[in-house]
Amino acid sequence: MTISFDLSGKTAIVTGANTGLGQAIAVALAGADADVALVGRSSMAETEAAISAEGRGKCLTIQADLSTIEPVQDVIDQTLAWSGRADILVNNAGIIRRADAVDFTEADWDAVMDVNLKTVFFLSQAFARHLIAKSQPGKIINIASLLSFQGGIRIPSYTASKSGLAGLTRLLACEWAGKGINVNAIAPGYFETNNTEALRNDPDRNSAILGRIPAGHWGRPEELGGAAVFLASAASDYIHGVVLPVDGGWLAR
């Protein structure tokens, strides 16, 4: 049996592809020869340039504000109109709000839950409906978090959303595995992204976090790409409902 990570002939949708982890995942999928629909609410010119530099795979930019489910079907429709197919969905778009639990507002709770959990479910639903109607296999990769396993501090809605996403990943895997749809998640550790800038700029928090990471450094976004390509490829065809930590060994310590 030949094990292949080749994604040629496949089309992926990556949300939050403008920067950070989403950008790195989109570039990695394109590097494995997938065509990639880049979804986000801000410019994705940098991601497009990085994919172009790879010289493999083509990309489409879809402007969408995923704070509501309104653009969900349009994301699927634009991808299909462009490529004629949709094989891989990476639910990466997410936001975070920080405050002590006793001070946390309803607005901050709802904003995070809407992007990180509600829209993820309904975009996955729209994607799966298309696959099932076509009797076509596919891959869904959710971007979870270490907070899918741990509590954290001062991020109650983020922790709730990422814990919920781990559960949702398992539920959808149970329902859709028999239909040829793999649903798995990646749980990134502490990576160098916009979401962690405040932590990296705090000397005490930065030192404490680094002190627990066996790998000895904050994750670089490109270090997440391999896991995404694996879960998007035929090499993971018998993997369903897994939440895969990519954390430099954080959870092992």
Q: What is the DSSP letter of 115?
A: I
Residue of 121, 158, 176, 218 marked active site:
158
CA gap 157, 96 in Å, rounded: 8
- The order of strands in the sheet holding 35-40 is 59-63, 35-40, 11-15, 88-91, 138-143, 181-188, 243-246
CA gap 112, 160 in Å, rounded: 9
CA gap 143, 219 in Å, rounded: 15
Tell me how crowded residue 86 is: count the other CB atoms within 10 A of its CB: 25
238 is a catalytic site residue: no
CA gap 163, 161 in Å, rounded: 6
Judge residue 158's burial from the number of C-beta atoms within 10 Å of its C-beta, 0-12 exposed, 13-18 middle, 19 or more buried.
buried
Q: Just list the catalytic residues.
A: 158
